[in-house]
C-alpha cells in the first residue's frame, strides 16, 4: 500500500525504512530537505492515490495540531490520518472530531521501540474505529515485531495514546528501581564490581528485562557513569499519567515518586539520574548532558 509519513527524525526515519522493507510505498516529508522525499505537505498528498493514509510523527502539541490542521485542508473524505507521536489522548478526541467533520478518518497510535525499532519492530497500541484501523492494518503489520505480540487495537479514539502513556509511566518506575539499586551498590565498600552484578542479573532472575540489558550496555560504555551529569528530562507522559491517576482516584505511588525523582535531578547532580539518563539514551537515543 501507499503511505504518507510526516516527520523523519530518529523514529520516523527508521519507520519509513522498515515499512519499505515490507514492500510498501512510503512518501516521506520532513522540514529537513536532506531526508525528505517531497518539498511540501501538498506535494506529499498529490503523490498519494485516494483513499490516502497519512501518518504523522511530529512532536506533540502545537506541532501536531498545525500538521493536522493543514492535512484537514489538503485531504479528502475517505482519507485517514494516523497520529503516531506522543500526543495527549484528549488531543486525539479533538483531532478525530475536527477531521471527522470533513469525512476524514483518524487513528491514534502509541508507538514504542525507540532507536531499536528498525531492527526489532515497534510495539503498537492503536485507538479508533475498526474501519479506519483496517485501512492502516498493512502498515501496522509491517511495523510490529514478528510473532503474535506487539500490536493491539486498544479501544476508541485516544485509547492508543492513553495506553502508551501508561506504558511510559511504568517505564519511569522500572528505570527508577534499577537506578536506585545501582546507586546503593556503588555506595558500599563490599561490592567491588557493580557492573558485573548487573550483568549477572541478565539470566535466571525475576528482574531480568530489556531495560536491564540496556543498563549493562551503558555500564560497558562508562562503567561508573562518570561522564554523565545526573540530570534526566521527562517527556510529559509521566506527568499525564499522574494527572490521569488523580482524575480517576487511582493510587500510583511508584510512578509518581519516579516522576518527582526526575524533578529532583534538576536541583542536584543525582547519581540515580545518571542511570536514568543512560537508559533513556540507550533505548530512545535521547540526549544526555555531559559533565
Of residues 43, 94, 97, 171, which has the active-site annotation? 171
DSSP element (H, E) containing 132: helix 130-143
Question: Is 164 a residue of the active site?
Answer: yes
Question: Is 46 a residue of the active site?
Answer: no
Of residues 164, 183, 237, 274, which has the active-site annotation? 164
Grid cell listed for 8: 523523519
Identify which of 149, 173, 123 has the alpha carbon closest to the alpha carbon of residue 15. Answer: 123
Identify which of 108, 139, 143 has the alpha carbon closest to the alpha carbon of residue 126. Answer: 108
Own/partner pairs, 265-270, CB within 8 angstroms, 24+ separation? 265/230, 265/231, 265/232, 266/231, 268/230, 269/229, 269/230, 269/231, 270/230, 270/231
Identify which of 201, 180, 163, 202 has the alpha carbon closest to the alpha carbon of residue 254. Answer: 180
* Distance, CA of 58 to chain centre: 11
Q: Which residues are tagged catalytic?
A: 164, 171
Amino acid at each position: 500500500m501507499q503511505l504518507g509519513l510526516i516527520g523523519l527524525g530518529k523514529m520516523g526515519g527508521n519507520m519509513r525504512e522498515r515499512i519499505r522493507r515490507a514492500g510498501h510505498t512510503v512518501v516521506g516529508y520532513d522540514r529537513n530537505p536532506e531526508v525528505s522525499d517531497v518539498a511540501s505537505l501538498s506535494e506529499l498528498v498529490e503523490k498519494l492515490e485516494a483513499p490516502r493514509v497519512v501518518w504523522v510523527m511530529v512532536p506533540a502539541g502545537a506541532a501536531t495540531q498545525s500538521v493536522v490542521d493543514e492535512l484537514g485542508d489538503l485531504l479528502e473524505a475517505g482519507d485517514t490520518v494516523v497520529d503516531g507521536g506522543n500526543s495527549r489522548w484528549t488531543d486525539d478526541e479533538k483531532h478525530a472530531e475536527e477531521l471527522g467533520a470533513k469525512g476524514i478518518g483518524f487513528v491514534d497510535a502509541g508507538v514504542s521501540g525507540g532507536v531499536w525499532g528498525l531492527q526489532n519492530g515497534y510495539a503498537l497500541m492503536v485507538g479508533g474505529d475498526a474501519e479506519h484501523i483496517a485501512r492502516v492494518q498493512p502498515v501496522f503489520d509491517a511495523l510490529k515485531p514478528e510473532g503474535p505480540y506487539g500490536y493491539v487495537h486498544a479501544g476508541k479514539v485516544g485509547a492508543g495514546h492513553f495506553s502508551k502513556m501508561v506504558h511510559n509511566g511504568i517505564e519511569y518506575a522500572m528505570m527508577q528501581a534499577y537506578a536506585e539499586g545501582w546507586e546503593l551498590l556503588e555506595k558500599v565498600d563490599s561490592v567491588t564490581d557493580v557492573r558485573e552484578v548487573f550483568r549477572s542479573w541478565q539470566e535466571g532472575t525475576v528482574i531480568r528485562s530489556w531495560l536491564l540489558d540496556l543498563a549493562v550496555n551503558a555500564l560497558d560504555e562508562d562503567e561508573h557513569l562518570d561522564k554523565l551529569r545526573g540530570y534526566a528530562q521527562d517527556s510529559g507522559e509521566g506527568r499525564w499519567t499522574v494527572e490521569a491517576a488523580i482524575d480517576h482516584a487511582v493510587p500510583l505511588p511508584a510512578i509518581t515518586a519516579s516522576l518527582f525523582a526526575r524533578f529532583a535531578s534538576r536541583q542536584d547532580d543525582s547519581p540515580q539520574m545518571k542511570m536514568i539518563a543512560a537508559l533513556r539514551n540507550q533505548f530512545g537515543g535521547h540526549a544526555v548532558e555531559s559533565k
